Amino acid sequence: MCGIIGYIGTGDAIEVVVEGLRHLEYRGYDSAGIAYHNGSGIDVLRCKGKIRDLEGLVRKSRPVASLAIGHTRWATHGVPSEYNAHPHRSNNVVLVHNGIIENYLELKKELAEEGYTFTSETDTEVLCHLIDSYCREYGFREAVEAALRDTRGAYAIVAISVRDPGVMIGARKDSPLVLGVGQEGFFLASDVPAFLTRTNRVVFLRDGEMVTISGEGYRITDLEGNRLERETELVTWSPSMAEKGGYKHYMLKEIHEQPRSLADTLRGRVFPERGEVNIAEFGLDEERLRRVRKIFIVACGTSWHAALVGKYQIEGLAGVPVEVDLASEFRYRGALLEEGDLFIAITQSGETADTLAAQREARRRGAFTLSICNVLGSTSAREADSVFFTHSGPEIGVASTKAFTSQLVALYLFSILLARVRGRIGHGESFELIAELLRLPDKVEAVLSGEEAVVRVARELFKARDFLYLGRGILYPVALEGALKLKEISYIHAEGYPAGEMKHGPIALIDEDVPVVFLMQKGGLREKILSNVSEVKSRGGKVVAVAAGGLPEGFEMADYSIEIPETNRYLEAVLMAVPLQLLAYHIGVLRGCDVDQPRNLAKSVTVE
């Protein structure tokens, strides 16, 4: 997610914008820029790197301005670079943007036919040229309205124009933008922290709204120009709370971001009306998918758990054999990988040393490498033959949450694509699988609305010293993930196990002090897992049942139960992960742990 800040008023606009960008640094970024009216036109300063690099450029030109806009870029289209950094310019129009314009390639083709040339790889530059093209026949505000009506996708923009030196326009759809109303002027930002030190009077703009700010004040309209009345509200957060969106920790913010991060992962990846996956987003070709003999998926930690889920999805839907390896093992076990095999690296950071080494080894041995990664410009993304970006936005908490569920969705999309290309599933089944996928963000929202039930369980169990997480089938890797989440942020010893393995040893651990979390799918394995529950109960174990579609009528064996919505058997893993993330988080907080920065852990393990 990029950071946006704009200011118009009686203060020093450059100082306000640079300070605002600093308050947005926590979001993660790879380049930055600023634009400001200089009295006769608009200057734009941009650089790859950090705010301090941008400040160096600003100091050199020592500008004074009453209107300026700034941006920190988290790359989604186009590598981190000066030429891809925002603000972007098209003749009189200068723009910063956060989001993804889905139809930017179509628009780019049309604009090129009108004679526009492009200096970046970004979707943002296309939007800037589109607004400029409308400025030929409309005023600035009407041109922005017309251009936004032409776009599909997500945007939060702030735009200024040479011809309208006292005007700043903001607009949003599926990407946050907030108006700040201060004593010294008006602010537009992607997030409150950018200007909270200067005003706490805000208007959170809603999807489809635009705001035009000038010396006379501000006017909120829809994209047809109809005026909308919106009251200001007061933000009572501290600046530190504001950086976490009002949540106590980044981890909780990122858990609650998942309906949106999943929507961002999906954006532009499916054609719902056709029930098809957009193969171009994987950088693969149908012939390769048709020919592939075996798939290797390699990762570490939480990403390895995603790989294990991916095995169930790919083999279940596409019927192609999948081998999953921990990256640290793959390199030394003499994997039978051959030329033409497909090697998938899953890595949120794109910098995990073991995963990179495995990816390089696979490439050296002639495999085609696909990276499922969250960070553009990262080493894994740059070195792979093709990349699928999860677009879940910066993940600040060390414990991976939203990146994990985005990885599961990426593998689900890949499985449908592979199954369709190889004729394993028909159009009807593909249509249904994608329709259910599009309902997923709302179902995750429903799980999150049940957080209180999870908090109650955490309050009962946070003093336990050992936990067991049990699941069957595709939920076994989710049991592993639940256990990892708990152990890495609460320091409680926790193990994930296949429920069917209980009788082969782990059941010896069961007594009234060992809570056992059962993941209970709706489908065929439900009966078997119920018998596992009774084995535990009959030995005095405490049972936490996380059940898709709720527990069977009269089910008395669970001491605590958490219900999640039903979905298909491949997406149950996504919905099941969320209550386990919340359980780990709340237990960690109750135990006074630093849940964002757990002891001994780093966000990216860049050494072997």
Give me the least distance between CB of 55 and ligand AGP, in Å please.
30
User: Two tokens at 415?
Assistant: 């499985």
Q: What is the DSSP string of 194-263?
A: GTTTT--EEEE--TTEEEEEETTEEEEEETT--B-----EE----HHHHHTTT-SSHHHHHHHTHHHHHH
Nearer to ligand AGP, 347 or 561 (CB): 347
The conformation of residue 33, written as its DSSP 8-state character, comes to E
Q: Whole-angstrom Cα distance, residue 29 to residue 74?
A: 5
Q: Whole-angstrom Cα distance, residue 412 to residue 393?
A: 19
The conformation of residue 279, written as its DSSP 8-state character, comes to G
Q: Whole-angstrom Cα distance, residue 11 to residue 64?
A: 10
Please indicate whether residue 603 is annotated as part of the active site: yes
Q: Which residues contact 70 (CB under 8 A, 6 or more apart)?
A: 4, 5, 6, 17, 18, 20, 21, 32, 33, 34, 35, 87, 96
Nearer to ligand AGP, 300 or 525 (CB): 300
> Do you find a cis peptide bond into 506, omega within 30 degrees of 0?
no
Residue nearest to ligand AGP (CB): 301
The conformation of residue 524, written as its DSSP 8-state character, comes to T
Size of the chain, expressed as the number of residues it contains: 608
Give me the least distance between CB of 309 and ligand AGP, in Å please.
14
Please indicate whether residue 373 is annotated as part of the active site: no
> Among 72, 77, 76, which residue's Cα sits nearest to residue 46?
72
Nearer to ligand AGP, 212 or 379 (CB): 379
Residues that bind ligand AGP (CB under 6 A): 300-303, 347-349, 352, 355, 398-400, 488, 604-605
SS3 of 415-443: the string is HHHHHHHCCCCCHHHHHHHHHHHHCHHHH
Nearer to ligand AGP, 31 or 303 (CB): 303
Q: Whole-angstrom Cα distance, residue 382 to residue 378?
A: 6
Give me the least distance between CB of 567 and ligand AGP, in Å please.
23
**Ranges of H-type helices in 87-233:** 104-113, 123-135, 140-150
Nearer to ligand AGP, 314 or 480 (CB): 480
Q: Which residues contact 306 (CB under 8 A, 6 or more apart)?
A: 299, 346, 404, 407, 408, 411, 477
514, 495 contact by CB (below 8 A) = no
Give me the least distance between CB of 351 and ligand AGP, in Å please.
7
Q: Whole-angstrom Cα distance, residue 220 to residue 203?
A: 10
Radius of gyration of the chain (CA): 25
Give me the least distance between CB of 250 and ligand AGP, in Å please.
13
Set 2, 47, 128, 300: catalytic member: 2
Give me the least distance between CB of 398 and ligand AGP, in Å please.
5
Give me the least distance between CB of 60 and ligand AGP, in Å please.
37
User: Two tokens at 315?
Assistant: 């083999």
330, 353 contact by CB (below 8 A) = no
Give me the least distance between CB of 347 and ligand AGP, in Å please.
3
Give me the least distance between CB of 202 and ligand AGP, in Å please.
33
Q: Which residues are catalytic?
A: 2, 603
